[in-house]
Amino acid sequence: MLKLHKVSREFGSTLALRDISFDVPNGQFVVVIGRSGAGKSTLLRTINRLVQPSAGDISFDGSSVLNLRGDDLRRWRASAAMIFQGFNLSSRLSVLSNVLVGSSNETSQMRRLVGFYTRDEKLRAAALLDDLGMLEKAFQRAESLSGGQQQRVAIARALMQKPKIILADEPIASLDPLSAKVVMDTLRDINRKHGISVLCNLHSIDTAREYGDRVIALRAGELVLDAPISALDDSAVRGVYENAEEHPACGKVTSFCAPEFVTTVSSTDTNTRKQEQVA
């Protein structure tokens, strides 16, 4: 179980994340939505420790991941594998070599430097490519693949890390609809077959509804919705994407219309925050 407890992160006067708390039981597919700048990428990067929180705690299966250093940190980063919108492959390396990079977390620094991989590692990388329908491309340069194919290679590389959780930051944002479906289906297969939790940032509400078990919504760094995906109706979506300042009611800024998931931020809190930001 991944556990976030009151996690905050500031960048100068910007509160990218504010007191975020939630748990993700193993095997859940969680979609993360919110407007541009809401803090979605910062959330995933904080879990992976690419970004250090300013406050709060993050733990996995009962152990905090915030004080990990050296090899332990490297192991955690492998366990919480990231997938990016831009794929982040080495474009001139072969598909197979790109996938093998995922096994580097277990290999010694010397072997990593010379790019030496064992027969077992190569077989495993090939098997993963086969699973994802990419084996026939194994010896092509990554740059010669379509976006959807590159993203599947990136997923194979992530799986090579033997992750406990996959953190996908807008994995389909630069793909055509068909490739996007293949990539999302791939993530769902991995989630269901291997029981690996997925946290997936998305801008498409339809995709969120189709693939998520659960939705987490951020607005201006705050968690404003954490609910089963069935709660993501049109009024909830409006609550996430509309400007909070336009909806003051009775001294409160109401986030949602769906009463069971209403989260409120008092205007005092909002004003205090604005003053903090100005200061």
**Comparison of 129 and 200: residue with beta carbon closer to Mg ion:** 200
Q: Which does 163 bind (CB under 5 to 8 A by kind): Mg ion, ligand ATP, none?
A: none
Cβ atoms within 10 Å, residue 179: 18
**Comparison of 51 and 262: residue with beta carbon closer to ligand ATP:** 51
E-state strands within 73-123? 80-84
- Chain positions contacting Mg ion, by CB under 5 A: 40-41
Best CA proximity match to 215, nearest among 207, 164, 37, 185:
207
**Comparison of 54 and 140: residue with beta carbon closer to ligand ATP:** 54
Best CA proximity match to 240, nearest among 70, 8, 42, 38:
38
Q: Which does 14 bind (CB under 5 to 8 A by kind): ligand ATP, Mg ion, none?
A: ligand ATP
Q: Which does 18 bind (CB under 5 to 8 A by kind): Mg ion, ligand ATP, none?
A: none
CB of 218 to ligand ATP, least distance (A): 7
Q: Which does 102 bind (CB under 5 to 8 A by kind): Mg ion, ligand ATP, none?
A: none
- Interatomic CA distance for residues 267 and 279, integer angstroms: 18
- Chain positions contacting ligand ATP, by CB under 6 A: 11, 14, 16, 34, 36-42
**Comparison of 41 and 197: residue with beta carbon closer to Mg ion:** 41
Q: In degrees rounded to 5, what are phi and psi of residue 182?
A: -60, -45
- Interatomic CA distance for residues 219 and 126, integer angstroms: 41
